[in-house]
Amino acid sequence: MSVAENYKRVQLKVKEAAERRGGSPESVKIIAISKRHPNESIYQGIKAGITDFGENRVQEAIQKVEEIQEAVNWHFIGTLQKNKIKYIINKFCLIHSVDTLALAEALNNQAEKNNTSFNILMQLNISREEVKHGFEAENALQEAKKIMALKNLNLKGVMGMAPWLEDIEKTRPYFKELKDVSNVMNKAGIEAPEISMGMSGDYEIAIEEGSTMVRVGTAIFGTRQY
């Protein structure tokens, strides 16, 4: 299957899942996760109409951002070390993976120094796995308020990952929890409505539960090369 055919299929499934929750296809943005795929695959994606790409490693990401001479939106979705922030200034439309207040403060400082800002999502540890990063749902509102006070950050919403489960239907409660956190923030007057949830294996369920952005890699580009 080509990237174009895969993307078409994903678009159709996104549309159908959005309709099942009573939304329009435009209510869900597809972010094509191009990590560990060559530039050639990204160009195929651009030709097929993909506008948003996501990467999870700083070095690989900035190389691609610099090499791909097309006006596309780049998202950063991976673990970000504070000493690497300086490399990502003004390169990404959205950082999905802000997982601690300390990282938010470091991003804010670098943005201020460079007279710019970062659009960010708060990553929540909805799966509660030791290896996964993020804020705890219980503290999310309190931490969101602190992030809102950081002048050079624009908090756009939340991000989360369900655990890998054989029975994907079991991922649903995790997505519901992230949607609940988003609702709590909204009720508290925090205008940050984006909900980045759903990957190749579970994006249809995530959309049914309220996702506004899905991060789909394998279903578009195929298996990654390591």
Ligand X SMILES: *Cc1c(COP(=O)(O)O)cnc(C)c1O
Interacting residues toward ligand X by CB under 6 A: 33, 35, 56, 77, 161, 199-201, 215-219
Q: How far is it, in rounded angstroms, from Cα 106 to Cα 30?
A: 28
Q: Which is nearer to ligand X, 34 or 110 (CB)?
A: 34
Closest CB to ligand X: residue number: 217
Task: Give me 160's structure tokens.
Answer: 């989360």
Among 29, 23, 77, 19, which residue's Cα sits nearest to residue 49?
29
Q: Residue 135 has what DSSP assignment?
A: B
Q: How far is it, in rounded angstroms, from Cα 134 to Cα 160?
A: 8
Min separation Cβ 59 and ligand X, Å: 15
Is residue 135 within 8 Å of 124, Cβ to Cβ? yes
Min separation Cβ 60 and ligand X, Å: 12
- Report residue 60 CA to chain centroid gap: 17
Instruction: Give the containing element (helix H, strand E) for 218.
Output: helix 218-221
Q: How far is it, in rounded angstroms, from Cα 222 to Cα 22?
A: 30
Min separation Cβ 215 and ligand X, Å: 4
Q: Which is nearer to ligand X, 56 or 125 (CB)?
A: 56
Q: Residue 164 has what DSSP assignment?
A: P
| Amino acid at site 4 | A
Min separation Cβ 50 and ligand X, Å: 14
Q: Each residue of 100-114: b (16+ CB within 10 Å) or e?
A: bbebbebbbebbeee
Min separation Cβ 196 and ligand X, Å: 8
Min separation Cβ 214 and ligand X, Å: 8
Q: Which is nearer to ligand X, 155 or 213 (CB)?
A: 213
Q: Which is nearer to ligand X, 100 or 218 (CB)?
A: 218
Q: How far is it, in rounded angstroms, from Cα 85 to Cα 161?
A: 23
Q: Which is nearer to ligand X, 121 or 140 (CB)?
A: 121
Q: Which is nearer to ligand X, 193 or 201 (CB)?
A: 201
